[in-house]
Structure 1
């Protein structure tokens, strides 16, 4: 059975785990019309493998004002490209979080992609498959809160995750971006993943699959679980970032960073004093606002920002 992770952005944090959330802590979901994404590219021809038994249709909601999508069965990538004169030749697939319950695209999808494109990096927003959830918003909210409370009451407080469909979609996205390298004027050897929270889990899994050729060239691992993991000796370089007061993973230490170091692989860690979980582009008034510029500087130090030829 898949473990459950829910973002503190959904309105509940670890501090509330042992009590029943009050009305102000419960996220509100309201159904909206699905946005038309004319630029979206299907990941698979026909039905996505593994979606055959899914019954719930895709749902778009506003969660406390931000758009989220649930019950994805037809995953896609959407290019967000830099101006031709600014293109560096590097590409990043952006993998938003949402606890494998939904995708937080308005916080960890589109804004991240636009920032990258503004700085010369071809970005691709991944709409991957989270777990199937009740279509009804009230039933979904109730189930989500119950799942979160149960997970946070467990002995580890924040469970490691491995969602095979999300990982498969991340790997397929890399494959498609590399296949379209000439069209998008990118170097197929410079295609990375940048994942947030649950998206960081899918990123970690994609970075450590046995098929070396299928892995991303580099990864941004943003407020994902910090527990130790098995790292192959040829894993891609990792940029990791987390706030020290992260409600979910702030007390785990930095074992995943040590796992990369033990494997002899390049890794850089940025641990911010404050910012909590799900800070996206950065929480105002904290140094998490430096995360994206630091990620850019890290890529530059690895010669990933050479102008496209």
Structure 2
């Protein structure tokens, strides 16, 4: 594929996966839907796939990409590899995260499994930054839908490490890109499927609900954010992005938000309801903030 840079490499996140219950009878499953979405389920060996621009084009910035799928599957092409290709074309190293999905059969605490993998991926990118020609102070995260919830969790829970971190590597992304993200687990805004998957039930205790209602976890140290949503999103209400933006503003954190009139949910790079190129808007925002 043009602009993909060097050959992609899949890198396991761990030698021994934390919080895991090994199950040989549960096998990772990949499917392609009739609409061309490539889905993966039952991840037990989380990894990142590195998409690296040629060294002469690299600008030192990297993005960890978290595909969505309601914490039930991962959309690995439209919200993963295709986004990575677009970043590589702009000289940005991209890493697509294949993270574990909450499943009590394969992990002891389902609520921390995805966050563990995101934190470990960010840690790994920073610790191998020299090898990949990356500035460790310019590593961001991008997330789509439930992957946006994971990206927002990574952005607001970085002082709550869920992995071993002997080198005290920063687990805070330098910026976040949140595309039609699940943000809130509150009743009025929640994507109930994501909440049910991550917390295990519709009646999870209120402390857990609040902990993962990420607009309530925003602080002055939350990284700057680029938010994208559509007003007619019937899967994840646009109020999720608005709530996060408002809390960022209250804390004095820089943010940009773009809300389309239409487009629905799950469109990846291409909102077919209009001719606007949201990804170019994102790159413009990154350049204005000196990440490009």
- Report the TM-score range of the alignment, normalised by the length of the smaller protein: 0.7 to 0.9
- Runs of 5+ in structure 2 lacking a partner? 1-6, 161-169, 185-214
d(CA) in 1 for partners of 2:27, 2:221: 39
CA contact (8 A) 2:8 2:51 kept: no
Higher relative contact order (CA 8 A, sep 6+): 1
CA contact (8 A) 1:68 1:102 kept: yes
- Asked if 1:111 corresponds to 2:102, the answer is no
d(CA) in 1 for partners of 2:182, 2:10: 29
More displaced 10-residue stretch of structure 1: 86-95 or 53-62? 53-62
Q: Which residue of 2 aligns with 1:95?
A: 66
d(CA) in 1 for partners of 2:247, 2:9: 38
- Asked if 1:62 corresponds to 2:32, the answer is yes
The structural deviation recorded for 1:67 is 1.6
d(CA) in 2 for partners of 1:131, 1:59: 15
d(CA) in 2 for partners of 1:210, 1:191: 14
The structural deviation recorded for 1:211 is 2.3
Structure 2 counterparts to residues 1-309 of structure 1, below 5 A = 39-46=9-16, 48-52=17-21, 54=23, 56-64=26-34, 65-132=36-103, 163-211=111-159, 213-225=170-182, 227=184, 228-250=215-237, 252=239, 254-287=242-275, 289-305=276-292
The structural deviation recorded for 1:210 is 4.6
- Runs of 5+ in structure 1 lacking a partner? 1-36, 135-161
Shift of the 38–117 alpha-carbon distance from structure 1 to 2, 3 Å rule, reads: closer
Shift of the 179–221 alpha-carbon distance from structure 1 to 2, 3 Å rule, reads: same
The structural deviation recorded for 1:250 is 3.2
- The aligned length equals 240
The structural deviation recorded for 1:50 is 1.7
TM-score, with length taken from structure 1: 0.73
RMSD, matched Cα: 2.1
d(CA) in 1 for partners of 2:279, 2:95: 16
For residues 148-188 of structure 1, the C-alpha deviation after alignment (integer angstroms, 9 at most, x for no partner) is: xxxxxxxxxxxxxx942111111111110111111110100
Shift of the 294–38 alpha-carbon distance from structure 1 to 2, 3 Å rule, reads: closer
CA contact (8 A) 2:148 2:183 kept: no
Q: Which residue of 2 aligns with 1:3?
A: none
Which of 1 and 2 has greater Rg? 1
For residues 51-107 of structure 1, the C-alpha deviation after alignment (integer angstroms, 9 at most, x for no partner) is: 225552211112223221100010001110112221110000111001111100121
The structural deviation recorded for 1:230 is 2.1
TM-score, with length taken from structure 2: 0.77
The structural deviation recorded for 1:256 is 1.3
CA contact (8 A) 2:180 2:230 kept: yes
CA contact (8 A) 1:56 1:133 kept: no
d(CA) in 1 for partners of 2:33, 2:112: 26
Shift of the 38–267 alpha-carbon distance from structure 1 to 2, 3 Å rule, reads: closer
Structure with the higher fraction of residues in helix conformation = 1
More displaced 10-residue stretch of structure 1: 289-298 or 120-129? 289-298
d(CA) in 2 for partners of 1:77, 1:261: 32
